[in-house]
Copies of this chain bind each other. A is one copy, B any other.
Amino acid sequence: MALGKNYQGQDCTLARALELVGERWTLLVVRDALYGVRRYGDFLAHLGIPRAVLSQRLQTLVDAGVLERVRYSQSPPRDEYVLTEMGRELWGPVYLLAQWGERNLSKAGPYRVFHHVTCGARIDPHGLCPSCGGRPPLEETEVRPGPGADLLRDDPVSVALRRPHRMLVPLPG
């Protein structure tokens, strides 16, 4: 999408949040980052996003402090994009929005399901673990393919996500 950037005069923090993460593709980039995607080429292949748009979104998110650009190779010089604490906090909204989509827009079963690894239980639609009753931190959360999972996509991230994967752990491995 091409979302304009300013919702001027909106006396609401939702508007400020949307100026940043409400642009087309942005929340999908963040979702991938929550899964553990860190590299330009992996975002590109997994999202099918135009290169120019990806570059611009990554830059915007880095500038805003949602992502941090970290050098992981000196030669050749290579950077990866890692979520900051501010970025990791987007897990709540992202999860609830995805659950809403699943309840209301999805015909087949869920593409992916989320488990609290320390309990083994599946996280409920509100983000709570039915076993311990708590709100599992991202580090204790695991993505698993659901019954509606698409097994045809063959980009590295999609392939890696065919088996259970701890959130934030670098993908594709």
Say yes or no for A150: interface residue by CB 8 A criterion: yes
Say yes or no for A112: interface residue by CB 8 A criterion: yes
Shortest beta-carbon distance from A41 to chain B in Å:
17
B48 touches A17 (CB 8 A): no
A10 is contacted by which of B7, B22, B28 (Cβ under 8 Å)?
B28
A16 touches B90 (CB 8 A): no
What is the oligomeric copy number? Answer: 2
Q: Which of the four size classes fits the interface of chain A?
A: 35 or more
Say yes or no for A78: interface residue by CB 8 A criterion: no
Name the B residues within 8 Å of A1 (CB-CB): 1-5, 22-24
Shortest beta-carbon distance from A110 to chain B in Å:
7
Give the segment of A55-63, A67-75, A97-105, A163-171 that binds chain B.
A97-105
B90 touches A100 (CB 8 A): yes
Say yes or no for A27: interface residue by CB 8 A criterion: yes
Contacts A3-B24, A17-B105, A93-B96 known; A11 to B47 CB distance under 8 Å? Answer: no
Name the B residues within 8 Å of A89 (CB-CB): 100, 103-104
A16 touches B92 (CB 8 A): no
Interface residues of A (CB under 8 A from B): 1-5, 7-18, 20-25, 27-28, 31, 47-48, 65, 86, 89-90, 92-94, 96-106, 110-112, 126, 135, 149-150, 153, 158
Q: List the B residue with the shortest CB-CB distance to A8.
A: B48
Name 6 A/B residue pairs within 8 A (Cβ), A-sorted: A1-B1, A11-B112, A17-B98, A22-B24, A89-B100, A93-B97
Contacts A1-B3, A1-B4, A89-B103 known; A11 to B111 CB distance under 8 Å? Answer: yes
